[in-house]
C-alpha cells in the first residue's frame, strides 16, 4: 500500500497520529512517502520534516510489518524552480499543500494521498483496492464546497490516484500550471478539481468531514461550519486532545492518542 503525506515540521504530529491509526487496523506492508521542503525564506517556521521524525514513523510501520518503508523526499528545489513566483502565495493555506502536486514523481500505479489531519477509524484496505481503472482520482465531495462552490467539488484531503492515467493526462503538471498562473482561494484543491475530468465519487465514510459516525473509515478534521448558537467556524485538529474532548465530545480515538502522547513524551 502506497501512501503520501506532505508538510513541514509542524505537520509531523498529524502524520504520526495518522500512521498510528492506520496501523491499528491494517497490518500489511506500507510504503509511506513524505514530501517536505525548506521554505524558511517565505516564513521562519516553514522548516522541513527531518530524518529523525521520519525514522520515528518508520519504526512504527516496520514494527507492524518489517517489509514496510518510509521515504522522506525533499521537494525544496522543485517548489522553488516551478512555483516560486506563483500568484497564490498569499492565501491562508501553506505552500506545503502544493507539494502533493508533485505526486507524479512517485513511480507507482496506485497512490493514496492523506492530509496530515486525517485519522483512520477502520481498515483502509477496501478503499485502497477500490476499482479506479476508468478514473484519475477517487475521493469524496467537499462538505461545504458542494453547497457553496459546485455539487461535484471534491475534497482533496483523501485522494486515491490512478497514477498511470494521471501521468497520461498530465493531471499534476496541469494543476501546477494553474496554481502558478491563476488566483484561487483553495489553490491546489480547486486546480485538481478543474483539471481532472474523470473523478470517482466515494461515500462520505472515506473522508468524513463533519462528525465521527459508526461507519467512518477516515475522519478528516478540516475546518467546519457551525450554526448554533450563532454561525461560526470550528477548526480542531487531532493533536489538540483537550479540544477534541471538550468541543467535539469525541473519545473514539483515545487509544491512538494515548500512544501518540507516549511517543511525544519520549522524544521531547
pLDDT, tens digit only, all 268 positions of the chain: 999 999 999 999 999 999 999 999 999 999 999 999 999 888 888 999 999 999 999 999 999 999 999 999 999 999 888 766 777 766 656 789 899 999 999 999 999 999 999 999 999 999 999 999 999 999 999 987 777 788 899 999 999 999 999 999 999 999 999 998 888 878 899 999 999 999 999 999 999 999 999 999 999 998 776 666 656 678 899 999 999 999 999 999 999 999 999 999 998 7
How many domains are there within the chain? 1
Q: Is the dihedral of CA 64, 118, 211, 208 positive or negative?
A: negative
Q: Which of 111, 116, 100, 114 is nearest to 136 (CA)?
A: 111
Asked whether 110 and 137 are in contact (CB, 8 A), the reply is: no
In a domain, 151, yes or no: yes
In a domain, 259, yes or no: no
In a domain, 235, yes or no: no
DSSP state of 51: H
Q: Residue 163 is part of a domain; what is its CATH number? A: 3.90.550.10
In a domain, 49, yes or no: yes
CA distance 249 to 31: 33
- Burial class from Cβ neighbours inside 10 Å (0-12, 13-18, 19+) for residue 181 reads exposed
Asked whether 112 and 217 are in contact (CB, 8 A), the reply is: no
In a domain, 268, yes or no: no
Q: Which of 8, 7, 175, 182 is nearest to 86 (CA)?
A: 182
In a domain, 245, yes or no: no
In a domain, 170, yes or no: yes
Q: Which domain holds residue 72?
A: 2-222
In a domain, 246, yes or no: no
Amino acid at each position: 500500500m502506497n501512501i503520501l503525506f506532505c508538510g513541514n515540521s509542524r505537520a509531523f504530529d498529524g502524520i504520526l497520529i495518522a500512521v498510528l491509526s492506520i496501523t491499528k487496523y491494517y497490518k500489511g506492508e506500507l510504503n509511506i512517502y513524505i514530501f517536505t521542503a525548506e521554505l524558511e525564506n517565505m516564513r521562519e517556521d516553514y522548516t522541513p520534516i527531518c530524518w529523525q521524525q521520519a525514522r520515528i514513523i518508520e519504526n512504527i510501520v516496520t514494527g507492524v510489518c518489517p517489509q514496510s518503508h518510509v521515504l522522506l523526499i525533499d521537494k525544496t528545489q522543485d517548489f522553488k524552480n516551478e512555483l516560486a513566483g506563483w500568484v497564490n502565495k498569499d492565501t491562508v493555506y501553506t505552500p506545503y499543500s502544493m507539494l502533493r502536486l508533485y505526486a507524479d514523481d512517485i513511480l507507482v500505479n496506485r497512490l493514496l494521498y492523506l492530509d496530515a489531519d486525517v485519522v483512520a477509524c477502520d481498515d483502509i484496505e477496501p478503499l485502497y483496492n477500490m476499482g479506479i481503472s476508468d478514473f484519475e482520482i477517487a475521493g469524496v465531495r467537499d462538505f461545504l464546497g458542494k453547497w457553496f462552490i459546485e455539487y461535484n467539488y471534491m475534497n482533496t484531503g483523501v485522494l486515491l490516484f490512478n497514477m498511470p492515467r494521471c501521468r497520461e493526462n498530465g493531471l499534476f503538471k496541469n494543476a501546477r500550471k494553474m496554481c502558478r498562473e491563476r488566483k484561487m482561494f483553495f489553490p491546489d484543491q480547486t486546480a485538481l478539481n478543474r483539471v481532472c475530468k474523470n473523478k470517482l465519487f466515494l461515500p462520505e465514510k472515506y473522508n468524513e468531514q463533519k462528525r465521527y459516525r459508526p461507519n467512518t473509515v477516515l475522519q478528516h478534521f478540516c475546518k467546519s461550519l457551525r450554526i448554533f448558537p450563532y454561525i461560526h467556524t470550528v477548526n480542531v485538529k487531532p493533536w489538540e486532545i483537550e479540544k477534541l474532548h471538550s468541543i467535539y465530545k469525541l473519545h473514539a480515538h483515545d487509544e491512538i492518542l494515548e500512544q501518540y502522547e507516549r511517543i511525544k513524551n519520549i522524544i521531547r
